[in-house]
Amino acid sequence: MAQAERAAELARLLDAAQSRLAAAEQSAEEARVLAEQLGEAEQRLEAEQAAADKLRRELAEQRFQAEVANWKLSSIKVARWNRLGDAIKSGKSNPVRLAKGLRGAAKPVKRPTAPKRRPVAGAGKAKDERPGAAFQATSTTRTLNGASFKLKPFRVPTGPNTRPHLTAAVIADPHAEALLRYEWRQTTGFTPRDFARVLPLEVPHLLVVESVTQGPWAEEITGEPGDGLRALLAWCAERGIRTVFWHTGGDVAAYAAAAELFEHRFTTDLTVAWPRLQFGVQPRVHNPLPLAGGRIDRVLTLDQLLPGHLAYPDVLTSYRWPAAADCPPGTPQWRLAEIAACGTPIGDEPDARRAHVALRRAYQMGTMTERIDELLDAIGLPSARATLNTSVLLPILDPYLMEHALAQAAKQSGVDQLIVIGPPEAELRARDVLPDVDVIYRRPQPSMTEGAMLNSGIDLCEADLVAVMDPRDVYGAHYLSDLRRAFLFSTADIVGKAAYYAHLRKPQATLLKQPDAEYSYLPEIAGATLLARRNTLRELRFADLTDGWDEVLMRQCRTDGIKVFSADRFGYVRVRDEDRWLLGAAHLVEYGSAEPHALI
């Protein structure tokens, strides 16, 4: 009897569960229909808004053309020839009136101002899809101790990106979004309601979701995963789109349930047993390019530097503003790296040498480009991108300089190929000094100039970048790696140094040339510091000169509109017995060696 009662109760419970399931399915179907209707309504609204914008533009154009017609008519009326004609017509029978009319017509009359097109109220502008196009600084003032300072904001670059062949749908807070936006073609701003309409416009190769704390997706990924997140992941699964969850902050337990739904999980937290994906500096925005107004002559605390109301584009402006940033213990490592990468000394006093070393270290800790390489390798997507591989052109006119020149090249890291043009013994010696580098030797003709030697070597270069080194000069161990870095954040085809140290042997003088020329686009740089894109040099070629080939090259760059960028002052010393031009154009640092100043 008891078993029959339990069976009846179970049947009743089963019927109730099936009823609830049927009701849930009906609700889900109704929700789906409502979502479709909402999507259709949004599409109709967008179409109506586009039509309204078109009508507003057409009406504004008609008004503008009417204003132009009125302006032309007013201009004709006040024109001197028209006023002369009116005076002659009205005074042809009255000499006195004619004389007065002619005198009046001879006087200058202010012409009416031409109308200008005004922005159309409510008309939508075409969306600029370039990275950073809608991500610009808005706060132009800072306040210190009651005093207000006007800044010219740092202009966030609008491209290019590192992997234009790859598209990523990204859900991230502004900081992480700024780090990622230059690494691929990035789709953002979609919501749980409209992702099915937005993402098909350009189907992504992967979905990256950060542990966001704000926005429409925050509730979807914390605690129990929301229906919108489940629908998004199902949409990706149907299309073979890889899904990545990136935990960057907060209690990982709050995101654990949602993270389990993703194919891949990464974290910045060393205590979480997921693969690591740390923040790195983004060279496109974390770089030493200065503000237009320069730095303030003050050391600021972190609280003064970054008041809480700043959006991230304004943070990028603040990073470049102080003479130094005094950061307290416990400041996150990524924050210190970003400040250092912007060339700002960290400490209680400005120090250009220490700032340069800190900048170098921030990049050595890893850029976002390198972090994304790791991510793509882990999830099985190609991480192909342009490289900074370097070929070095080393022309040796004087055999006595061979050992010194090869020693300078051997110091450098990241050299894939060395083109040596010089005495016969240079070939074996180069292979001995640089055993891991592809060495190509060419013997010059006796009458060849340095420019001709460089021209004979440029066609042998295979790397993406080509450097020219002068056998007379001194190059630090970080010279090429520092110089290559400029290609990560500048848009130049040629990089070098217009600011540098020089040493004159006869007077034993150390000089500093153009200290204000660091990190700027300039008409020319020193030829001995030239690092250029290979294809650019192949098109330009070198003048058949020994002295002055670099000046001719720079003139050609100005003629052809090729951008030339001057990097930092460190890592290189120009060495000459004497140089009257340098003595008149550079600052005297001291009488003694230049290497302690330049080589850091």
Give residue 564's pLDDT: 97
- Given this model, what pLDDT does residue 124 score? 46
CA 516, 521, 526: angle at the middle one, nearest 5? 75
Distance CA 269, CA 220 (A): 22
* CA–CA–CA angle 173, 301, 210 (5° rounding): 10
**In the structure encoding, which two tokens stand for residue 131, read together?**
């990275």
Distance from C-alpha of 185 to C-alpha of 191, rounded to nearest angstrom? 18
Determine the pLDDT at residue 6: 67
State the Cα torsion 476-478-483-484 to the nearest 10°.
Answer: 140
Which amino acid is present at 426? A
- Sequence-distant (6+) residues with CB within 8 A of 424 are 443
Whole-angstrom distance, CA of residue 349 vs CA of residue 341: 17
CA atoms within 13 A on the CB side of 207: 25
Task: Let me know if 388 is exposed, middle or buried by CB neighbors in 10 A (0-12, 13-18, 19+).
Answer: middle
Q: Say whether 390-598 and 164-280+367-385 share the same fold.
A: no
pLDDT at 578: 87
Three-class secondary structure assignment of 313-371: HHHHHHHCCCCEEECCCCCCHHHHHHHHHCCCCECCCCCHHHHHHHHHHHHHCCEHHHH
Q: How many CB atoms lie within 10 A of CB 199?
A: 20
- Whether residue 290 is preceded by a cis peptide bond, meaning omega within 30 degrees of 0, is no
How many Cα atoms sit within 13 Å of 388 on the Cβ side? 19
Number of H helices, E strands in the chain: 21, 22
Helix (H) or strand (E) holding 418: strand 415-421
Distance CA 464, CA 483 (A): 14
pTM higher than 0.85 for the full model? no
Cross-sheet strand order for the sheet of 242-247: 185-187, 167-171, 206-210, 242-247, 264-267
Q: Where are the domains of the chain?
A: 164-280+367-385, 296-365, 390-598
**CB distance 589 to 500 below 8 Å:** no
Q: What is the CATH number of domain 390-598?
A: 3.90.550.10
Residue 338: predicted pLDDT:
97
CATH of 164-280+367-385, one of 3.20.20.140, 3.40.50.2300, 1.10.10.920, 3.40.50.11540: 3.40.50.2300
- Give the pairing type, strands 438-442 and 509-513: unpaired
Whether 473 and 404 have beta carbons less than 8 Å apart is answered as no
Please give the pLDDT value at position 122. Answer: 53
Per-residue pLDDT of the chain (600 residues; tens, 9 = 90+): 666 666 666 667 666 656 665 665 676 566 566 656 665 666 677 667 767 777 777 777 777 778 777 767 776 766 666 766 776 767 667 776 767 766 766 666 666 777 766 666 654 445 555 666 667 878 788 888 888 888 889 988 887 789 999 999 999 999 999 999 999 999 999 999 999 999 998 999 999 999 999 999 999 999 999 999 999 999 999 999 999 999 999 999 999 999 999 999 999 999 999 999 999 999 999 999 999 888 999 999 999 999 888 899 999 999 999 999 999 999 999 999 999 999 999 999 999 999 999 999 999 999 999 999 999 999 999 988 888 999 999 999 999 999 999 999 999 999 999 999 999 999 999 999 999 999 999 999 888 999 999 999 999 999 999 999 999 999 999 999 999 999 999 999 999 999 999 999 999 999 999 999 999 999 999 999 999 999 999 999 999 999 999 999 999 999 999 999 999 999 999 999 988 777 677 889 999 999 999 999
Joined tokens for residue 328: 């307290």
